[in-house]
Each structure stands twice: as structure tokens, then as C-alpha cells.
Amino acid sequence: MLTSHEHTRLRKRLLSILRQNSDYHQLYYDTYGYTPVGALLGYLQTLKGMETVTRADIREVVENDPARQLEWDQGVLIRATHGFMPTKTKGRLAEVAPPKILYYGTHRRLIHQVKASGLLPIASEYVQLADTGEAIGAPGDTLSLFEVQAEAAYRAGVHFFRLCVPYSHSDPFYFSEAIPPDYLQLL
């Protein structure tokens, strides 16, 4: 059980990360701000003062959040319920030709919406994609992965972007405009 001070500190850190208020985090966020809990925990444990944080600590903070600003489906995805900001990409992106296949992860309850409408940059300027499914997280429980026929979408006129150097050299993420459902396959 966390002390009051530890609880407050972890809550503030979670909100900052999940709202994407910091300059850069190597986490995957879907269009609705969800990110895998395992990746978030791994990232938290690299931060000073957060080395011993556990999944149970995160669960405790989410369950006892008086403002209900954090949402965890108790599966693999977590997000801030409001205050979510799109990844700060303005001026940091360069248009690129994507690889043949990219990946998109989302909550299972959004599968039908994605199949019907495609990928839409609803809460941000662009859709965030990854070059491997592993960069998003392992599907299961509530996380679902889509394979994106990125090269075909690019040939059809969809624009793709990557972060420019010096912001990232080995970043596995791509950004795109809306992608029609014809280029998506649920894995």
C-alpha cells in the first residue's frame, strides 16, 4: 500500500505521461489515448523515484483516484479520461514513404468502429502507428492489433510521417492521416 505522498506523486506522474504533457515518451498511444500498462510500467521504472512502482501500485492509484481522471480496463490498456493531448509533433515530422506493413493497436470495444470508419485522428492531429506489433504490446484481454497495409495506402494518397532527427533516430513510430478501412486487417 502506498503512502499518501507516494500515491499523490505516482498519480501526478501517471497523469502527466498519459496526457502526453512531457516532451517525449517512447510509448504507443492509440487515437483515444490508450497505452499498454506493461510498457507504461517499464517506462515509469526508468524514472528517478519510480524504480519500485508495481502494477498493484498503478491499480491502487487508478481505483482511488477521486477525480476519476485515470481509466484502466484491468486488462492491458490505460489512459487519462480527459486532458489528453495529442503527441506534440508540430515541426518535428518529415513526410516519408512507409514500409509495406505497419501496426495499430486499440481497445477491443473499438474494433467495429475501426472496421467501419478506418483509422481517424480523432483526439490528435495524426494516427500513430508502429513498425512492429511488439512496439505496441501483446494483443490479449482488451488490446487488439490491426495490420495496416501502409505501402498500399501511401500509393493511394495517404501521407505518412516520422519524427525528424534529432528528436528520434530509432523511434518505431509512424504518423499518418486518416486511413480507410480497406487497408486494415484485424490480427
How high is the pLDDT of residue 149?
98
CB of 160 closer than 8 Å to CB of 150: yes
Residues 125-168 pLDDT 10s: 788 898 988 877 766 667 889 999 999 999 999 999 887 654 44
Does residue 86 lie in a domain region?
no
User: Do 32 and 68 fall into the same domain?
Assistant: yes
Does residue 51 lie in a domain region?
yes
Residue 166, preceding peptide bond in cis (omega within 30° of 0): yes
C-alpha cell at 131: 513498425
How high is the pLDDT of residue 38?
86
**Closest Cα partner for 55 from 10, 108, 5?**
10
Domain boundary among 38, 53, 80: 80
How high is the pLDDT of residue 56?
93
Does residue 41 lie in a domain region?
yes
Cα angle 40-162-118, degrees, rounded to a multiple of 5: 75
The residue segments making up the domain with residue 34 are: 4-80
User: Do 97 and 182 fall into the same domain?
Assistant: yes
C-alpha cell at 119: 483509422
How high is the pLDDT of residue 78?
86
Show the low-confidence residues of the chain (pLDDT under 70). Answer: 20-26, 31-32, 74, 82-92, 123-124, 138-141, 164-171
Does residue 154 lie in a domain region?
yes
CB of 35 closer than 8 Å to CB of 48: no
* Rg of the chain on CA atoms, in Å: 17
User: Do 98 and 65 fall into the same domain?
Assistant: no
How high is the pLDDT of residue 167?
46
Report the domain count for the chain: 2
Q: How much is the mean pLDDT over the chain?
A: 83
